[in-house]
Structure 1
Amino acid sequence: MDKLTTYSFFDVMGELFSEEISFAVTNTEEYIFYRASKRINLKISPGDPVKEGTITFKALQSGEKTSEFISRDVLGVPYHGIAVPFHEDGKIAGCITAIYPALTEARSVVTLKTADGWVPVSYEEIYYIESKNRRTYVTSSTHTGTNKNTLQEFEFTLPKDSFIRCHRSYIVNVKQIKEIYLDTHSTFVLSMKDGQLIPVSQSYSSYFRKMLGF
């Protein structure tokens, strides 16, 4: 693709993201495209170097999909990000990054819709959150129900020291894990305190081990 076509392609990709999400594309050293959202603007311009400490820098360094919160100390604005490196001829050629506003929520409960109505449950009571049949199910020690948030939205609003994405369909409360078993292909199975077995997929296994320190 020539330069004009490439930028048009990036702009169309930006349309796929919600109005709350900014979108950036880099090569291995600098930004080549940036589209700010209505909710968050990191004030990046094409040609700016990829700064150390950003989610994009971390993904380029690790060579893996990276998802975490970045404090305001790095770019002056706190944000959550997902960065995915891409390759050409077997080498990392750049990175695509989705940038989300840092959501600060005073509440420490998740409200579940059940057959009898709505029930708030505390974060500590939650065992795991599952995406199934286009709905989000929350299982806790007291209730099981649905919630309007997606797993991606939960991933950015739940406390990072307790909740970890371990699979495209699951987020688990690490304080509710009873045991971790080695599974095939260097992945894991989590035995939760409610007796449920939750898989850790291969794409999340290294991130999961890093977060739990083993």
Structure 2
Amino acid sequence: MDQSSIAPLIDSFKELFPKETSFAAASTDAFIYYKPSRSVDLSITPGDRVVQDTVSYHSLASKKKTSRHVSRHVFGIPYYGTSVPIIQKNELVGCLTAITVPGEAPEELKILTMEHENGWKPVPYSDVSYMEAYERKTWMQTSAGRGTNKFTLHQLEWLLPEDTFIRCHRSFIVNLNKIRDIQPDSHSTFTLIMDEGSRVPVGQTYASTFRWRLQF
């Protein structure tokens, strides 16, 4: 992960957060990019170590999306952060963190809007089986059928609750509550059988995290 790839990535996430949001990117042990906002500035300098109790640290340690309030003892001011790990070629290479003032945490969506041939349909999380990136679109498989969503899988990783949804493949995010069966596949990976009968692969990059989350 290099700085030239960070700015475009942040630009794609800006619409998901309040206007005055700061953004930071880190390698596995140090910050490599920081863009403060007028509302909250943690005074991070590229090269600063990622210290314990930060949102970035917990995201790197757990290898999953992390959202939490952080007290003023870390950076001198309190903040709310959401951090997502970045994995490339089966390895954790860093994380991207959005930083807002306490009380301005973006409200978690309760539904996803699906576009279909006759219009749009709000779909509750509980009715979503999985999301798939296919032919430059994000497809949703739901109890109401199949359609598209305007967000990319990377954006949905920020939006969706991590206790319900998990990235299992570069092209799939699944609802853990909709998995009917897990079948072994080649190369230490798995195939998920979803409630409605679809088969979803678990990629090698995500297999260890998937096993850890489901405790098997």
Query: Using the alignment, how far apart are the partners of 1:85 and 1:152 within structure 2?
Result: 12
Alignment-mate amino acid for residue 80 of structure 1: T
Deviations 1:85-134 (A, max 9, x none): 89xxxxx9x95432235763354111111111111111101111111000
Q: 1:161: which partner in 2?
A: 163
Number of residue pairs matched? 195
Q: 2:96: which partner in 1?
A: 98
Alignment match of 2:148 (pick from 125, 128, 146)? 146
Counterpart secondary structure, 1:18 = helix
- For 1:151-190, list aligned pairs within 5 A: 151-190=153-192
Q: 2:10: which partner in 1?
A: 18
Deviation at 1:22, TM superposition (A): 2.5
Using CA pairs under 8 Å that are at least 6 residues apart, name the structure with larger relative contact order, 1 or 2: 2
8 A contact 2:60–2:95 mirrored in 1: no
Deviation at 1:43, TM superposition (A): 3.3
- Identical-residue share of aligned pairs (%): 32
Q: Residues 154, 185 of structure 1: CA spacing in aligned structure 2 closer, same or farther, 3 A cutoff?
A: same
8 A contact 1:36–1:42 mirrored in 2: no
8 A contact 2:178–2:195 mirrored in 1: yes
Alignment-mate amino acid for residue 33 of structure 2: Y
Query: Using the alignment, how far apart are the partners of 1:180 and 1:55 within structure 2?
Result: 31
Query: Using the alignment, how far apart are the partners of 2:188 and 2:68 within structure 1?
Result: 32
8 A contact 1:55–1:83 mirrored in 2: no
Alignment-mate amino acid for residue 95 of structure 2: T
How much is the aligned-residue C-alpha RMSD, in angstroms?
3.2
Deviation at 1:136, TM superposition (A): 0.5
Q: 2:209: which partner in 1?
A: 207
Point out the more displaced range, 159-168 or 67-76: 67-76
Deviation at 1:56, TM superposition (A): 4.6
Q: Residues 188, 53 of structure 1: CA spacing in aligned structure 2 closer, same or farther, 3 A cutoff?
A: farther
Q: Residues 41, 168 of structure 1: CA spacing in aligned structure 2 closer, same or farther, 3 A cutoff?
A: farther
- For 1:1-214, list aligned pairs within 5 A: 11-19=3-11, 20=14, 22-26=23-27, 28=29, 30-31=30-31, 33-36=32-35, 38=37, 42-46=42-46, 48-54=48-54, 56-57=56-57, 66-73=63-70, 76-84=78-86, 96-100=94-98, 104-105=106-107, 107-214=109-216
Query: Using the alignment, how far apart are the partners of 1:70 and 1:110 within structure 2?
Result: 20
Q: Which runs of 5+ in 1 are unaligned?
A: 1-8, 87-91
Deviation at 1:42, TM superposition (A): 4.3
Q: Which runs of 5+ in 2 are unaligned?
A: 15-21
Query: Using the alignment, how far apart are the partners of 2:118 and 2:194 within structure 1?
Result: 26
Counterpart secondary structure, 2:173 = strand
Q: 2:18: which partner in 1?
A: none
Counterpart secondary structure, 2:10 = coil
Question: Which structure's CA Rg is the greater one?
Answer: 1
Q: What stretches of structure 1 move > 6 A for 4+ residues in a row?
A: none
Counterpart secondary structure, 2:64 = strand
8 A contact 2:64–2:85 mirrored in 1: yes
8 A contact 1:105–1:157 mirrored in 2: no
8 A contact 1:14–1:23 mirrored in 2: no
